[in-house]
Amino acid sequence: MDGRKMGQKGLLARSLSKQTSIKGLRAAILLTILLLFCVSAVNRLAAEENQPAKKTAPAGKAAAEELPKPEDVTLQTADSVQLVATYYRGGKGKESIPIVLLHGWKHNRTDYTKDFAPFLQSKGFAVVVPDLRGHGDSTRLKTLYGKDETLDAVTLAPKQFNLMVYQDLKAVKEFLWEKNNAGELNLDKLCVVGAEMGASIALEFAWYDAMGYDQGSPEYGSLKLGRFVKALVLISPETSFKGIDIRHAVQNPAVRNDISVLILLGNGDNKALSEAKRVYSIFERDHPKPDPEKKADQQTLFFTPLETKLQGANLLTEKNLKTEEIINAFLNLRLVKSDAAKSWLWKERKLPHQ
């Protein structure tokens, strides 16, 4: 390595040792990814990340193949909602990390299907993007009387937001469970990304997953029912939304301590900044900053304000914010490169109702 590169590496190491400010935390993610992948500058990383999806060559084959096309699927919840989602198959088989993307209130899955979901798929992740009940194409509720009801996001009863957790995401998890057993992904590395309302739903689902559905335990005999969620990306989170209070979720030690968390927001909105700081403070005491002399992959909590007034999924629309890169860096740091991630090996998982 020449002197100029050695100087750059030294500068990065010194910068990482000074992560005491909010802006420093954002820099930590970008600088960490630079160290991990040995790139020489942020601009080079940006150029690589923003390349269109390329053909990938499976092991043992010289010719590259196109990434699998996204597939629209309909999942029926236990309470008979017809849940529509788009699934992007990963490119690494059993090593594919599953990512669930959750939209905000009065939004839908198209917030992600245009750019962000294909971007994640191009990085090898398996991605599922549902329309939560009352949103997008998930508005049909079958009834016992033969006449379907229509769910509307604007008029949803408060209990319906809780059912997004206990019904909608349970159906999504079981879909991924089957894909795990088909060898398409590793359910034990599950990550949920949620924007605004979706962030609240993501955290509450992390609690539900940690509880092992309704069993009150992540294990049922020889079966593993929960604690599949290993990482959360919370975009413009709030402490409470439509009766869902995230403080309920973090009362569970498995959620508060064991899940890696990235919090993203636009710092140009004082209310959003204040709410995100409150969410961060709930996790902060259980995610101490690692000793600068230790491995960088030991950091498990990141607070990343971006220089914009934009919030929620809109943070993904401004490419100069590098939001996609930050999330990709976090996913690789916590779910691929960390020592913990190397222990979350693929296993066939029998469904509890089988």
User: What does the pLDDT average to over 58-63?
Assistant: 38
What pLDDT does 354 receive? Answer: 55
User: Is residue 93 a contact partner of residue 183, using CB atoms and an 8 Å limit?
Assistant: yes
User: What does the pLDDT average to over 318-340?
Assistant: 96
User: What does the pLDDT average to over 293-309?
Assistant: 89
Does residue 273 or residue 213 have the better pLDDT? 273
User: What does the pLDDT average to over 147-160?
Assistant: 93
Is the pLDDT at 269 greater than 50? The verdict is yes
Strands (E), the chain: 71-76, 82-88, 98-102, 126-130, 140-141, 149-150, 190-195, 219-220, 223-224, 229-235, 240-241, 244-245, 260-266, 301-306
Q: Which of 37-51, 174-188, 244-258 has the lowest mean pLDDT?
A: 37-51
User: What does the pLDDT average to over 2-30?
Assistant: 43
What pLDDT does 212 receive? Answer: 87
Give the β-pairing of 301-306 and 260-266. Answer: parallel
What pLDDT does 144 receive? Answer: 76
340, with CB counted inside 10 A (0-12, 13-18, 19+), is middle
Nearest to 276 by CA among 15, 102, 25: 25
What pLDDT does 47 receive? Answer: 42
Nearest to 132 by CA among 160, 164, 163, 100: 164
Which pLDDT band, with edges at 50, 70 and 90, does 216 fall under?
A: confident
Is the pLDDT at 41 greater than 80? The verdict is no
Tell me the residue type at 267: N
What pLDDT does 124 receive? Answer: 97
What pLDDT does 139 receive? Answer: 97
- End-to-end, the C-alpha distance of the chain in Å comes to 56
Neighbours of 320 (CB within 10 A): 9
Phi and psi angles of residue 310, each rounded to the nearest 5 degrees, phi first: -65, 150
Ordered structural domains, the chain, with CATH: 66-343 (3.40.50.1820)
Nearest to 270 by CA among 301, 236, 226, 219: 236
What pLDDT does 353 receive? Answer: 65
The SS3 assignment for 100 reads strand
The pTM score is 0.82
Is the pLDDT at 27 greater than 60? The verdict is no
Which pLDDT band, with edges at 50, 70 and 90, does 113 fall under?
A: very high
- Find tokens 């008029």 and name the residue: 155
Is the pLDDT at 82 greater than 50? The verdict is yes
Neighbours of 77 (CB within 10 A): 22
- Percent pLDDT > 70 in the chain is 80
User: Is residue 301 a contact partner of residue 264, using CB atoms and an 8 Å limit?
Assistant: no
Q: Which of 6-15, 237-246, 343-352 has the lowest mean pLDDT?
A: 6-15
User: What does the pLDDT average to over 93-115?
Assistant: 98
User: What does the pLDDT average to over 37-60?
Assistant: 40
- Find tokens 């960490």 and name the residue: 32
Nearest to 58 by CA among 88, 86, 95: 95
